Amino acid sequence: MQPPARLPETLAELFNAHSGRNGLGAPRLSASEQVKLQALFQGELPFTVEDVEMSVRDAYQAALDVNLMDIFLKAWAKIPAIADMADANKYPAAERHLVPLAEHRVTSSHEPRVEVLINEIAAFSLPLGVSLEVEFEGAVLNIAGGLIHAVKSANCRASGLVTCRDVVIASIKTGSMILNHELKLKPPFPLRPIAAAAQQAGLTLSGFDEAGRPLTFHLLPKPGVREATWLIGRRQGRADFVIPNKAVSAEHARIRYSSSKGMEICDLDSSNGTRVDGKLVDRSYVSLADAQRIVFGSCEMQVSRD
């Protein structure tokens, strides 16, 4: 039985090792993918598939130039129990803690864009989508003085996609991989900036009401506060954020902020429900740390971080 493969250092190495494409940063589209891509850009300025592929290659290479450990560390640092260890009053610098992580999942996505040039003229903007999901069987963080000094070995599996307007440029689905027995971080990773940003960061919800008018809600805790709540609903004068939509209940959902858990949402027994990224929410609060979309009744709102 072969031992697990070593986890690569970067997204580029991960996709190059597991996507099966020929050459890092130089994916070749199949004939059917070329037809799809060409159809998607019909009606825009004249181009050749070769022009688009060249821009895809450039954007692909830049989009994957990301250190995997940076992704993992930023995700781990947002876990409330770990973020709390940035507090020097609770965790003096002389104390060292080995913090085990149970089975968990880290997800990451970003959408770089590149301008496609035709005869040295910008013809249109080309969107790429890069998504990664890594399932960890466990890990141990070595933390002291508000810093992650090392990560002890952990098995994991990864899957991911690089797309261009829904055309798959590359995809991966790995077998079991493992970190080094103990990966020492040089320099150590600081928890305080992530914890401070998480405590003060707000959310913006963007969408449209029933008549097609734009809606934008800014949920930003006041500096220094430890808790805040916002009521979302149809009732003027009662809801903090009003959605004029018949499918939205008078008092539909509540979003709360706490310094220990960040932003969370619960449904208030609304008639048509509240969904976070497709999952139905009840009266129990669920985290909005990684949420991309919230649907109140039939009103869909995109989530962005401030």
Domain membership of residue 231 (yes or no) is yes
pLDDT at 125: 65
Q: What number is the average pLDDT over the span 37-60?
A: 61
Regarding whether 253 and 219 lie in a shared domain, the answer is yes
DSSP collapsed to 3 states, 33-75: HHHHHHHHCCCCCCCCHHHHHHHHHHHHHHHCCCEHHHHHHHH
User: Using CB atoms within 10 A of its CB, is residue 266 exposed (0-12), middle (13-18) or buried (19+)?
Assistant: middle
Q: Please tell me the distance from the alpha carbon of residue 237 to that of residue 214, in angstroms, as a whole number.
A: 20
Domain membership of residue 67 (yes or no) is yes
Residues 50 and 39: beta-carbon distance below 8 Å: no
pLDDT tens string 126-170: 677 888 999 998 889 999 999 999 998 778 999 988 887 667 777
Q: Please tell me the distance from the alpha carbon of residue 10 to that of residue 3, in angstroms, as a whole number.
A: 21
| pTM strictly above 0.85 | no
DSSP 79: S
Q: Please tell me the distance from the alpha carbon of residue 249 to that of residue 267, in angstroms, as a whole number.
A: 10
Domain membership of residue 196 (yes or no) is no
User: Percent of the chain beyond pLDDT 70?
Assistant: 76
The amino acid present at 217, given as its one-letter code, is: F
Q: What number is the average pLDDT over the span 81-94?
A: 86
Regarding whether 39 and 172 lie in a shared domain, the answer is yes
Regarding whether 288 and 214 lie in a shared domain, the answer is yes
User: Percent of the chain beyond pLDDT 90?
Assistant: 31
pLDDT at 22: 43
Regarding whether 100 and 14 lie in a shared domain, the answer is yes
Regarding whether 76 and 141 lie in a shared domain, the answer is yes
CATH of the domain at 208: 2.60.200.20
Residues 206 and 301: beta-carbon distance below 8 Å: yes
Q: What number is the average pLDDT over the span 168-193?
A: 85
Residues of the domain holding 76: 5-190
pLDDT at 45: 47
Q: Please tell me the distance from the alpha carbon of residue 245 to that of residue 259, in angstroms, as a whole number.
A: 32
- Give the number of other Cβ atoms within 10 Å of residue 38's Cβ: 14
Given 155, 190, 225, which residue is the final one in a domain?
190
Regarding whether 210 and 160 lie in a shared domain, the answer is no
Regarding whether 114 and 156 lie in a shared domain, the answer is yes
For the chain, the first-to-last Cα distance in angstroms comes to 48
Total count of residues recorded for the chain:
306
Name which of 247, 245, 239, 294 is nearest 266 in CA terms. Answer: 294
Confidence check: pLDDT of 200 > 60 = no
Regarding whether 164 and 207 lie in a shared domain, the answer is no
Burial profile 285-304: b = 16 or more Cβ within 10 angstroms, e = fewer: beebbebeebbbbebebebe
Number of domains composing the chain: 2
Confidence check: pLDDT of 43 > 60 = no
Domain membership of residue 118 (yes or no) is yes
- Non-local (6+) Cβ contacts of 180 within 8 A are 6, 153
Q: What number is the average pLDDT over the span 287-298?
A: 90
Domain membership of residue 288 (yes or no) is yes
Regarding whether 103 and 31 lie in a shared domain, the answer is yes
Domain membership of residue 195 (yes or no) is no
Domain membership of residue 243 (yes or no) is yes
Regarding whether 159 and 225 lie in a shared domain, the answer is no
Structural tokens at position 97: 């803690």
Residues 111 and 129: beta-carbon distance below 8 Å: yes
Burial profile 59-88: b = 16 or more Cβ within 10 angstroms, e = fewer: bbeebbebebbebbbebbbbbeebbebbee
